A = this chain, B = another copy of it.
Amino acid sequence: MQVTGPIHFYFDFASPYAYLAATQIDALAARVDRPVHWRPILLGVVFKVTQGVPNLHKPLQGDYLRHDVPRCARRLGVPLHQPLASPFASLAAGRAFYWLDQAGGDHAPSALARAIFHAHWAEGRDMALPENVLDVAASLGLDRMAVEAGMNEPAAKDRLREETEKALAHGVFGAPFFYVDGEPFWGADRMGQMEDWIREGGW
């Protein structure tokens, strides 16, 4: 077991709880002196294996989510566009992320992830649309045409699929989902517990 390893942060851009987590994970990681490995995945692919259903679509639980996400956002002081967006296909966003991750350069893929989350969940811009993802990338100073070409390369598509499969192999069944030192934590509401686990070296 690694004792000072990174926090692996698995998420789908389409998860509102992953958005909330994304606004908190950097500060948490800084407090416990760990790097964060951002790992977008496709929950739709996960749900095919687990027979899962988006919480927003579940009877009663969907209503709770529509009440709870804004409540959590208010508590955290995090901006949230309402009404909440429906689950959407985050393929373009995930592919752009992994293209940037592999391309390297001056731009951190995590900065792109944060900007995509913000555009979708705080500003209500539909990140299912590749052109909107490209707008966000360009606003960060990335070369729009390079991102567009890159996200359509097989390498980016393969990587998103591989990371999703890797997540499944690690037992990831929802998002956000964290691994640190081999220990799994599911849910934005477990981030405090994860922080305590890291500080205290487990229980």
Contacts and interface: CB of A to CB of B under 8 A. Distances in A.
A60 interface: yes
Nearest to A49: B59
A193 interface: yes
A64 interface: yes
B71 A60 contact: no
Contact of A61 (B60, B173, B192, B196): B173
Interface residues of A, number: 30
Interface string A159-203: 000000000100111100000000010110110110010000001
A168 B203 CA distance: 36
Nearest to A196: B75
Interface of A: 49-52, 58-61, 63-64, 67-68, 71-72, 74-75, 168, 171-174, 184, 186-187, 189-190, 192-193, 196, 203
Given A64-B173, A190-B189, A203 B75 contact: yes
Given A75-B203, A189-B187, A189-B189, A60 B64 contact: no
Nearest to A71: B203
Contacts of A189: 187, 189-190, 193
A173 B75 contact: no
A64 B186 contact: yes
A60 B167 CA distance: 11
Given A71-B203, A75-B203, A192-B192, A58 B64 contact: no
A184 to B, nearest CB: 6
A59 B192 contact: no
Contacts of A190: 189
A59 B75 CA distance: 32
A52 B55 CA distance: 11
